[in-house]
Amino acid sequence: MKVAILGGTGSFGRGVAVRLAAAGVDDVVIGSRDAERAQAIAAEIGGRVSGATNDDAVRGADIAVLAVKADAALDTARDIAGALGVVPLFSVASALSFSKDGVRSDPDARAIAERIQDLVQAPVVAGLHTIAAANLEEAAPQEDALICGDDLEAKTLAIEISSRIVAGAALDAGPLASARALEGLTAVIVNVNKRYKAHAGVRITGVHHE
Ligand SMILES: NC(=O)c1ccc[n+]([C@@H]2O[C@H](COP(=O)([O-])OP(=O)(O)OC[C@H]3O[C@@H](n4cnc5c(N)ncnc54)[C@H](OP(=O)(O)O)[C@@H]3O)[C@@H](O)[C@H]2O)c1
């Protein structure tokens, strides 16, 4: 399976690449605006991880994780739409605003993931918002991953790769509109992290899945 990680030079994308490579995904490609930067990070991770420009990374991929910084998610989706074609695009972005009295989620009623779907022909899925990059480096975190999307095939693939990233469950959280809540939940988790000096995650109780 080929997984492209756009903006995989950043802390979150890099963590995702480390976990996927450790879980045996045979073709993980770090994407960047600068191919050399992507190749340098890929070399640091080692194994069969490679690096390329974002455009080259998505070509021929089974799924592309959009892990550029959240402010750049919409512009990057627009830029790579042509190269992406119908390759499923996995948004992990949450827009947050920081102030002295806490972190707030994006006041826009529609999720970033829904706005990305307006820009690309490919099916957009969203998830992994609540997993801190710092929790990905050493081992798969004991957390659940919540994944949403309107395209069942794309969502199934995103759940499949997410199950290799977390040690908890990768769960179907419904249609792409659920990204409004999942992106908003990031602000809640970041506030908890600040208050308790933690890298908190999410566990869903009462679900039995295979
Ligand atoms: N950090 C976390 O704990 C965490 C947890 C869950 C989800 N997320 C989500 O994961 C995504 C990445 O987070 P991060 O903390 O890893 O971000 P980051 O390190 O700030 O940025 C990731 C990458 O985005 C690219 N980038 C920066 N500015 C750009 C621009 N103007 N246009 C295009 N690409 C640009 C850069 O890659 P190049 O310069 O190599 O192109 C950079 O390495 C965000 O959407 C965030 O909401 C983060």
pLDDT at site 40: 98
**Residue 210 scores a pLDDT above 80:** no
Half-sphere exposure of 202 (CA within 13 A, CB side): 20
**Residue 209 scores a pLDDT above 80:** no
Residue among 16, 19, 69, 115 to mutate when testing ligand 1 (max atoms within 8 A of CB): 69
pLDDT at site 114: 98
CA 29 to ligand 1 centroid distance, Å: 16
For the CA of 9, the closest atom of ligand 1 is 43
The confidence band for 196, taking pLDDT boundaries of 50, 70 and 90, is very high
The confidence band for 12, taking pLDDT boundaries of 50, 70 and 90, is very high
pTM of full prediction above 0.95: yes
Share of the chain above pLDDT 90, in %: 96
**Residue 30 scores a pLDDT above 90:** yes
Residues forming beta bridges with residue 89, ordered by sequence position: 64, 124
**Residue 19 scores a pLDDT above 80:** yes
The response to whether residue 110 sits with its C-beta less than 6 Å from ligand 1 reads: no
Q: Which fold has domain 2-196?
A: Rossmann fold (3.40.50)
CA 59 to ligand 1 centroid distance, Å: 20
pLDDT at site 22: 97
For the CA of 93, the closest atom of ligand 1 is 45
The response to whether residue 131 sits with its C-beta less than 6 Å from ligand 1 reads: yes
For range 129-148, the mean pLDDT? 97
For range 21-50, the mean pLDDT? 97
37-78: pLDDT as tens digits: 999 999 999 998 999 999 999 999 999 999 999 999 999 999
Residue at 8: amino acid letter: G
The response to whether residue 9 sits with its C-beta less than 6 Å from ligand 1 reads: yes
3-state SS string for the chain: CEEEEECCCCHHHHHHHHHHHHCCCCEEEEEECCHHHHHHHHHHHCCCCEEEEHHHHHCCCCEEEECCCHHHHHHHHHHHHHHHCCCCEEECCCCEEEECCEEEECCCCCCHHHHHHCCCCCCEEEECCCCCHHHCCCCCCCCCEEEEECCHHHHHHHHHHHCCCCCCCEEECCCHHHHHHHHHHHHHHHHHHHHHCCCCCCCCCCCCCC
CA 10 to ligand 1 centroid distance, Å: 5
**Residue 18 scores a pLDDT above 90:** yes
pLDDT at site 156: 98
The confidence band for 157, taking pLDDT boundaries of 50, 70 and 90, is very high
Residues 173, 127: Cα–Cα separation, whole Å: 9
Average pLDDT, the chain: 97
For the CA of 37, the closest atom of ligand 1 is 40
